[in-house]
Amino acid sequence: MPRQALAFLVPARHPGDAAAVAALFDQGVIRPEEVVAILGKTEGNGCVNDFTRAYAVEALGHMLAARLGTDLATVLGRVAMVMSGGTEGGLSPHFLVLGVRPDGPPAPAPALALGVAFTPEFPPEALGRMAQVDATAAAVREAMSQAGIPDARDVHYVQVKCPLLTSERMAEARARGAACATDDTYASMGLSRGASALGVALALGEVPRAALDDGVVGRDWGLFSGRASCSAGVELTRNEVVVLGNSPDWGGALSIAHAVMRDAIDLPAVQRALSAAGLDAGAGQLPAEEAGRLVALLCKAEPSSSGLIRGRRHIMWDDSDINATRHARALVGGVVAAATGRTDLFVSGGAEHQGPDGGGPVAVIVRG
């Protein structure tokens, strides 16, 4: 029997609300031991001090540990917990539970396949540099192997959760005589995301190794992955990697497709992703029955570095009250919500080297 990928999206009343995930176990639709990753959107600010991410990880981890009869460390050592802060605009907080069933039903066409891998723990000075790029690339290859996806063309989305620098972590590095890539904690988020994305690009053959060095991270926006989505947080010190693609060796009714938004208002790219996944996107909003087949939409949001969208000025980088990535999440969230008729969408801010400057990847998981 083929393996079967499982995916269930549930609402979250607050970042520590594990009840809806626990209900999936009570209903018998997925078993705790089948869970390999949980992706979440929490209503924090998405910045360095967004502890809603860690709160969600703790709550979900303890709940899973109790269900599995083990401890939190064991759960976090096996399950990728990817929490993305920021549900600005109309975005709805939620959790996407991903699992693997070893004996799923056969499928007439390639079905959703997934693999999870982890890098070693990073010292602070490795973040935003080639050490992080290479370690991420190795983890992506490991996750592809685990998923049984030998051809990178069959990979449609790679989710990475990566660390950031805190004042304490930078002080620890300085005490050892090591220099970090930046002394700005917020800037470290972008560098960590960027290095992780370039690691994905390297593993998938989107960027050659010869084009990469420490100097291009966070600087050369012509180098990017069209399938990477990277989110930084204070709650971990390694990269956690989830690879999603299609494989004829997997069963079940789920599949995935993707497209790349060229800018924040690229509605046609969203519609291409929906259509490629087999949904009747048409020229407007998904009909209700098609929206019901949509299991998850995952995309990146980033203000263009030029300060322009199709030649017209935006002020996202100039607002001292609201961080630019928060503006971008709200903007892109509105575009994809209008396309799908849904607001429980995984819109992640900070798209350094994830799609072209000002744009980003968009992936769609559907049920046949």
Residue 153 sits in the same domain as residue 197: yes
The annotation status of 137 as a binding-site residue, yes or no, is no
The annotation status of 129 as a binding-site residue, yes or no, is no
**Residue 136 is part of a domain; what is its CATH number?**
3.30.1330.180
> Count of CB atoms within 10 A of residue 241's CB?
34
Q: Tell me which of 215, 244, 273 is where a domain ends.
A: 244
> Count of CB atoms within 10 A of residue 207's CB?
24
Residue 123 sits in the same domain as residue 233: yes
Residue 24 sits in the same domain as residue 83: yes
The answer to pTM > 0.85 is yes
Please tell me the distance from the alpha carbon of residue 99 to that of residue 81, in angstroms, as a whole number.
12
The annotation status of 84 as a binding-site residue, yes or no, is yes
**Residue found by looking up tokens 């890098």 in the block:** 119
Pairing of strands 35-42, 80-85: parallel
> Could you list the active site residues?
161, 231
Residue 161 sits in the same domain as residue 231: yes
Q: What does the DSSP 8-state code read for residue 354?
A: B
Element (H, E) at 296: strand 294-301
Digit-by-digit pLDDT tens for the chain (368 residues) are 799 999 999 999 999 999 999 999 999 999 999 999 999 999 999 999 999 999 999 999 999 999 999 999 999 999 999 999 999 999 999 999 999 999 878 777 899 999 999 999 999 999 999 999 999 999 999 999 999 999 999 999 999 999 999 999 999 999 999 999 999 999 999 999 999 999 999 999 999 999 999 999 999 999 999 999 999 999 999 999 999 999 999 999 999 999 999 999 999 999 999 999 999 987 789 999 999 999 999 999 999 999 999 999 999 999 999 999 999 999 999 999 999 999 999 999 999 999 999 999 999 999 98
The annotation status of 349 as a binding-site residue, yes or no, is yes
For position 117, what pLDDT does the model report?
98
The annotation status of 359 as a binding-site residue, yes or no, is yes
Please tell me the distance from the alpha carbon of residue 190 to that of residue 316, in angstroms, as a whole number.
16
Range of the domain at 293: 254-367
Whether the Cβ atoms of residue 367 and residue 125 lie closer than 8 Å to each other: no
* Residue 180 forms part of a structural domain: yes
The annotation status of 192 as a binding-site residue, yes or no, is no
Residue 274 sits in the same domain as residue 352: yes
Q: Which residues, other chains included, contact 4 with Cβ-Cβ below 8 Å and sequence gap of 6+?
A: 100, 101, 103, 104, 105, 111, 250, 251, 252
Residue 148 region by backbone torsions, left for phi larger than 0, else alpha for psi between -120 and 50, else beta: left
The annotation status of 232 as a binding-site residue, yes or no, is yes
For position 84, what pLDDT does the model report?
95
Q: Which residues, other chains included, contact 187 with Cβ-Cβ below 8 Å and sequence gap of 6+?
A: 218
For position 50, what pLDDT does the model report?
92
φ/ψ (deg, to 5) at 96: -110, 110
Closest CA to 191 of 274, 140, 131: 131
The annotation status of 225 as a binding-site residue, yes or no, is no
**Residue 316 is part of a domain; what is its CATH number?**
3.30.1330.160
Q: Which residues, other chains included, contact 353 with Cβ-Cβ below 8 Å and sequence gap of 6+?
A: 193, 194, 197, 198, 201, 217, 221, 223, 224, 225, 228
For position 106, what pLDDT does the model report?
78
Residue 209 sits in the same domain as residue 272: no
- Amino acid identity, position 209: R
Residue 235 sits in the same domain as residue 276: no
Query: For the segment 279-294, what is each residue's pLDDT rounded down to a tens digit?
Result: 998 778 999 999 999 9
Helices 19-27 and 52-68, interaxial angle, to 10°? 30
| Secondary structure (3-state) at 364 | strand
Residue 90 sits in the same domain as residue 134: no
* Residue 106 forms part of a structural domain: no
The annotation status of 85 as a binding-site residue, yes or no, is yes
The annotation status of 196 as a binding-site residue, yes or no, is no
Query: For the segment 53-103, what is each residue's pLDDT rounded down to a tens digit?
Result: 999 999 999 999 999 999 999 999 999 999 999 999 999 999 999 999 998
Residue 205 sits in the same domain as residue 277: no
* Residue 249 forms part of a structural domain: no
Please tell me the distance from the alpha carbon of residue 253 to that of residue 237, in angstroms, as a whole number.
35
The domain tally of the chain equals 3
Please tell me the distance from the alpha carbon of residue 161 to that of residue 192, in angstroms, as a whole number.
10
Pairing of strands 240-247, 155-163: antiparallel
Q: Tell me which of 209, 244, 279 is where a domain ends.
A: 244
The annotation status of 53 as a binding-site residue, yes or no, is yes
Please tell me the distance from the alpha carbon of residue 50 to that of residue 32, in angstroms, as a whole number.
27
The annotation status of 356 as a binding-site residue, yes or no, is yes
Residue 238 sits in the same domain as residue 292: no
For position 109, what pLDDT does the model report?
80
The annotation status of 188 as a binding-site residue, yes or no, is no
Q: Tell me which of 101, 133, 155 is where a domain ends.
A: 101
